[in-house]
Amino acid sequence: MVHPSRKRDYKLISRLIRDFNGDVLTVPGRVIALIFVFVLLLFPLANNDPHILRILIMANIYVVFAVSWDLLSGYTGQMNLGHALFFGVAAYVAALLNIHYGLDPWLTIPIGGVAAAIAGLLVCLPALRLRGPYLALVTLALPFVAVAIVLLFKSTTNGDMGLYGIGRIFSSFEDPRDNMIVTYFFSLVMMLPSVLIMWKLTDARSSIVRLGIIFHAIREDEIAARACGINTVRYKFIAFAVGGFFAGIAGGFYAHFLRVVNPQDTLGVFLSFEVIMYTVFGGICSIYGAVAGVYFARAFVWDYLLTDVVEVDVGIKRMSLAIIMVLVLLFMPQGIAVWIRDKIEKTCPRCKLNNAFFRRNCRACGAELHVVKKKSIAPDMSSG
């Protein structure tokens, strides 16, 4: 006789396994994501070249940054062209705390994140009044104001030169190689939970957190959302605070990893555009799109293919990346990851569940997935 509570435990575990089998392994996109996480976790076993690890750590930082932009601008539709503001604020806060008060990275990074979240709340104040392109341009202008403030307080921030000599993430081992490996794992410890949290927060089908569906509603039609009784002001504040917080986490990690914080690299307009570039390239308004965009465009194409495999100067690199972007977006305007997902997954027309592309019937409700288009009576020239 098994104790009832134990029985509940078995039930829970068996339910988890069943869910895993049924809901993860049957959908190609989720299998790919799972494999990807395992590859990231086991990567140092296969290759511990510090150069490659460095590329991946930078990619992890950019992933958090890009996903936070996606949460704010992709989901809520609050087009933010100055996301570097949050990154820079957190980087400066973390760097100053570390240099002047000697706080450790595990403290300065979250404090930087909180500072960026406060910055997000402040940015949200004008954002409540502005819409669309107006908001985009105001947010674009804000990092410039921040750079001016940095330059104004030259004695604290060291002006154009920036702050340097910031403490490392991890430096207890003798061998810098080992330090790099540990730093790599720390970057994963930062990146994986951040992305998971943001992914769960924006999940439109979640029954626990209503955030995702409300963000969609605000983006699609704010007036209609307000008419439905949604306090759009509160949710915009939440979006800005959460987006700012995670961008700040990325910024703080960046400060401790590169150990240099200067206005051009952390508050520059190109950083803001870069994050949009990766996210739109991978697929806007889908968390995995931002992840895929960063790993593909930044880590693979920019840092590996154009730096290590074919060694070209920066000009050619920028030009090749721009040409790749144009060509890819021309044929997949919704982004590369979303395009691939649409190819390997099929949404059930009845219950809206995602299925593998090779299935004929939906795995849950059994509805036919590939409904053959009936021949229209009028001759259709386009379909041939």
Partner 1 sequence: MIEGILINGLVKAGLYALLATGFSLIFGVTRIINLAHTALYMLAAYGLYYFGQELGLSLGVSIALALVVTVIIGALTYKLFIERIREHHMTVLLITLAFAIIFEEAMAREFSRDAVTVPSFISGYWEVAGVKVLIQRWLALGTAFVALIGLWLLLTKTKLGTAIRAAGQDAEVANLMGINVPRTFLITAGLAATLAAISGIVIGPTLGVVPHMWTDPLIMVMAIVVLGGLGSLKGSVIAAFILAYVEVIVCYSFPEHCYMSRAIALGAMILTLMVRPEGLFGTSFEEERL
- Alpha carbon dihedral 68, 60, 321, 28, in 10-degree steps, equals -80
If the CB atoms of residues 57 and 284 are measured against partner 1, the closer one turns out to be: 284
Min separation Cβ 302 and partner 1, Å: 13
Min separation Cβ 132 and partner 1, Å: 5
Q: What string marks each residue from 162 to 201 as x (binds partner 1 by CB under 8 A) or -? A: ----------------------------------------
Displacement of CA 204 from its chain's centroid (Å): 17
The piece of 18-26, 39-47, 325-333, 353-361 that touches partner 1 (CB under 8 A) is 325-333
Give the number of other CB atoms < 10 A from CB of residue 284: 19
CA 256 – CA 271 distance, rounded (Å): 18
Question: Is residue 223 a contact point for partner 1 (CB under 8 A)?
Answer: yes
In the list 16, 148, 233, 310, the residue contacting partner 1 (rule: CB under 8 A) is 148
Q: Which two tokens stand for residue 130?
A: 């502005």
Specify the long-range contacts of residues 148-156, CB closer than 8 Å, at least 24 apart.
Answer: 150/92, 150/263, 150/267, 151/263, 156/96
Question: Is residue 142 a contact point for partner 1 (CB under 8 A)?
Answer: yes
Enumerate residues 6+ apart whose C-beta is below 8 A from 45. none
If the CB atoms of residues 174 and 313 are measured against partner 1, the closer one turns out to be: 313
Enumerate residues 6+ apart whose C-beta is below 8 A from 251. 65, 86, 87, 88, 89, 90, 91, 94, 112, 116, 266
Helices 84-101 and 132-152, packing angle to 10 deg: 20
CA 264 – CA 147 distance, rounded (Å): 8
Cβ pair 54, 257 in contact under 8 A: no
If the CB atoms of residues 50 and 159 are measured against partner 1, the closer one turns out to be: 159
Question: Is residue 144 a contact point for partner 1 (CB under 8 A)?
Answer: yes
Total chain residues near partner 1 (CB under 8 A): 41
Assign 172 to helix, strand or coil.
Answer: coil
Min separation Cβ 273 and partner 1, Å: 6
Show contacts with partner 1 in window 302-321 (CB under 8 A).
Answer: 315-316, 318-319
In the list 16, 17, 323, 365, the residue contacting partner 1 (rule: CB under 8 A) is 323
If the CB atoms of residues 134 and 357 are measured against partner 1, the closer one turns out to be: 134
Cβ pair 27, 355 in contact under 8 A: yes
Give the number of other CB atoms < 10 A from CB of residue 47: 10
In the list 334, 344, 345, 367, the residue contacting partner 1 (rule: CB under 8 A) is 334
Question: Is residue 94 a contact point for partner 1 (CB under 8 A)?
Answer: no
DSSP state of 305: I
Show contacts with partner 1 in window 23-82 (CB under 8 A).
Answer: 79
Show contacts with partner 1 in window 263-282 (CB under 8 A).
Answer: 269, 273, 276-277, 280-281
In the list 33, 114, 141, 192, the residue contacting partner 1 (rule: CB under 8 A) is 141
Residues that bind partner 1 (CB under 8 A): 79, 126, 129-134, 136-138, 140-142, 144-145, 147-149, 151-152, 223, 269, 273, 276-277, 280-281, 284, 315-316, 318-319, 322-323, 325-326, 329-330, 333-334
